[in-house]
Homo-oligomer: A and B are copies of this chain.
């Protein structure tokens, strides 16, 4: 990984302050976190941790996007989590990583060595409480994704992914998407396929099809404009909304 020696933000001024695992902490508790935290940055495509490897830190995403993926021996790959800013990686009390963690864009992480974090957590109920909330939200999101993987068509899957990305992107600016929205896709076609349980060819074809039907417009390969977000929501096939707003 890249060292990031010269970057340091006081927790009080952190952009993810009120959504991350530290959200419930008071000033004195933040001061303690400030002392043990450190930043690390990664380039798009870098692997932060390999499944099965020792993982001696936990971390919050500050900026950028990462994925959690599982791989079968024969190479079949499934992404099981998308990590956006404020999301948490790592499990207190666990030795080894159960997934590959991969940066899909340039990525900045706020890290804590595991042991000090566990100690702090034992002394600071606010952290454990917030982690429980976040884990329950992730569980809901995972189950939402199970519905997508098990029962949605390829077109619905793509629309659902776009909805999620738009929502998470909007939530960075503390708003909900509505009317005309645009955003960057933080994933390659292949990474999208791995998240959606499709092949990259099918992803490409369905994106072309949504474009042909005027549901989205592309600028380059990665920048998406959605002229009418409600129509996209309908394509996603959820009953009335595309899932959690976080």
Is there a chain B Cβ closer than 8 Å to A65's Cβ? no
A77 to B151, alpha carbons, bound, how many Å?
7
Stretch from A36-44, A136-144, A167-175, A206-214 that touches the partner = A136-144
A150 interfacial by beta-carbon distance below 8 Å: yes
Chain B nearest CB from A133 CB (Å) reads 8
Instruction: Answer whether A147 and B70 are a contact pair too, CB < 8 Å, given A91-B136, A135-B135, A136-B135.
Output: yes
Q: Is A68 located at the chain interface by the 8 A CB criterion?
A: yes
Q: Which of A123-131, A178-186, A225-233 contacts B (4 or more CB under 8 A)?
A: A123-131
Task: Kindly state the separation between the CA atoms of A213 and B149 in the bound complex, as whole angstroms.
Answer: 29
Complex interface: chain B residues within 8 A of A91 (CB): 136
| B142 and A197 contacting across the interface, CB-CB below 8 Å | no
Decide if A237 touches B72 in the complex (CB within 8 Å).
yes
Judging by beta carbons under 8 Å apart, are B139 and A138 in contact? yes
Closest to A71 in B: B239
Of B98, B196, B238, which is within 8 A of A140 by CB? B98
Chain A residues numbered 107-166 whose CB sits less than 8 Å from any CB in chain B: 125, 128-129, 131-133, 135-136, 138-140, 142-147, 149-152
Q: How far is the CB of A86 from chain B (nearest CB, A)?
A: 17
Find out whether the CB atom of A146 lies under 8 angstroms from the CB atom of B147: no
Specify which chain B residues have a CB less than 8 angstroms from the CB of A68 in the assembled complex.
143
B128 with A132: CB separation less than 8 A: yes
Q: Closest approach, in angstroms, between the C-beta of A220 and any C-beta of chain B?
A: 28
Residue A76 at the B interface, CB < 8 A? yes
- A78: interface (CB < 8 Å): yes
Q: Which residues of B contact A149 (CB under 8 A)?
A: 146, 149-150, 197
Question: Residue A80 at the B interface, CB < 8 A?
Answer: yes
5 shortest interchain CB distances as A-B pairs: A150-B197, A149-B149, A80-B143, A142-B142, A78-B147
* B-binding residues in A (CB < 8 A): 68, 70, 72-73, 76-78, 80-81, 91, 93, 98-99, 125, 128-129, 131-133, 135-136, 138-140, 142-147, 149-152, 196-197, 237-239
Given contacts A70-B146, A146-B149, 7 further A-B contacts (CB under 8 A): A70-B143, A70-B144, A70-B147, A81-B143, A98-B143, A135-B136, A142-B146
